[in-house]
Chains A and B, each alone.
Chain A
Amino acid sequence: MPHDHEQPHTLLPSEPALRVRAIETLLVDKGLVDPAAIDSVVDAFSNRIGPKNGARVVARAWSDPSYRQWLLRDATAAIADLGFSGLQGEHMVAVENTNGVHNVVVCTLCSCYPWPTLGVPPVWYKSPEYRARVVRDPRGVLAEFGVTLHDDVEVHVWDSTAEIRYLVIPQRPVGSEGLSEEALAALVTRDSMIGTGLAAAPGGA
């Protein structure tokens, strides 16, 4: 009997799942939402809108000096030019990491995040821990991500308190000279565009 070796378990759905089902059923029965429209939102944010978009923006900025200038001057237009625009990215600002300045983005009051370029935020970004601590002890928080900065580097924390959304342009990694834009994009991590990480080294080192 195959069932003999199964772990004890229950097939009951979780409480949040049941609550969500109950509310969705009510809203659909009232004609307030179309379940097919929910499906399409889920698909968009699960499969199409995510940090791969932002990585393309950064890779272009690394590859094309005139695009980098445009991105720093008018990020909304420069990012829209690659096809990423709209909801929760209506007004974009790009901030560039250099040898002397490291930028980190947070939303202490809620969870503002540039959806068109980064998708929906990870749990830690929305957590009370990150929101409380990163403005007060950015270097301690960065250390938890494995990022240690020299004492001389200025840490600029950006608290997203309005509808301006910030994208960090990480420093281009050493040894990435001559890589194609596509290969460069693969080095651009989500965290590097929030400022809690660095771009990956070429060759997975």
Chain B
Amino acid sequence: MDGVHDLGGMEGFGRLPLEENEPAFHYVWEARVMGMRLLMGGWRKWNIDAGRHSVELLPPKDYLSLTYYEKWLASLVNQSVKAGLITREEVARGRPEEGAVKASPPLSADAFLAFIPKGRPSARQITAEPAFRVGDQVHTARHMHSGHTRLPRYLRDCVGEVVRHHGPHVFPDVSATLQGEAPEHLYSVRFSATDVWGTRASSKDSVTADLWESYLAAER
């Protein structure tokens, strides 16, 4: 999706919002949003890829003007309504509808704290051999689809070199649709800065991204 979230290389942005001794959270509500978002994931109505896509689907002007945790809250509500966990009317009224069945049990503190050190690995086993090896030259796709994808716009139709092979991982473009995991081989591909940005970049510099096999073709 050619969305506003795909920011790499966009021009017109100013200085970084740097802050000395920045706290983990600036406001208590930010931390509450993080907690709610992580815990609501426990209902397994969506996955990390669908979660990222729901942020990308916020209106562009909201994406650029809301703070990070406001975006998380907005996308959490959108996802929860879409998944049928809550209704639009409940969001508007701020309380459950008459006769709404109470879900149970929610993820407990202990269960969540036990989940944190395990996480949710995305590596998978597949029988297909990797199409590329470290050192191969590959050419990235020029045209992409309008759903969730992890090939950034600034790296489309570029030639790079495979510098690492990570093995098969869940493929986000499919996973975000909740239609399965469709794992594919994943590679770190290095692009020279001058190839991507032209001669104003330093010939010493590079950018490396982790790209799935179907984003790539052999460069001859």
Given A131-B7, A159-B8, do A30 and B109 touch, yes or no (CB 8 Å)? no
Sample of 12 more A-B contacts, CB < 8 Å, known A41-B38, A161-B211:
A16-B29, A16-B67, A17-B29, A20-B29, A32-B85, A36-B108, A44-B113, A130-B16, A131-B8, A136-B9, A145-B18, A164-B188
Question: Which A83-124 residues have C-beta < 8 A from chain B?
Answer: 85-91, 93, 106, 108-111, 116, 119-120, 122-124
Cα distance, A205 to B121, chains bound together (Å): 41
Chain A residues positioned under 8 Å from B151 (CB to CB): 161
Is A129 in contact with B96, judged by CB distance below 8 angstroms? Answer: no
Contact of A33 among B7, B25, B27, B106 (CB under 8 A): B106
What residues make up the interface of A, taking CB atoms closer than 8 Å to B?
Answer: 14, 16-17, 19-27, 29-34, 36-42, 44-46, 49-50, 85-91, 93, 106, 108-111, 116, 119-120, 122-124, 126-133, 135-139, 141, 144-145, 151-164
Given A41-B35, A108-B152, A161-B150, do A25 and B206 touch, yes or no (CB 8 Å)? no
What residues make up the interface of B, taking CB atoms closer than 8 Å to A?
Answer: 5-11, 13-19, 22, 24-29, 31-36, 38-40, 43, 48, 52, 55, 64, 67-70, 73, 76-77, 80, 85-86, 90-91, 94-96, 100, 102-109, 111-113, 115-123, 150-152, 154-155, 164, 166, 169-170, 172, 186, 188, 190, 193, 196-197, 201-202, 204-212
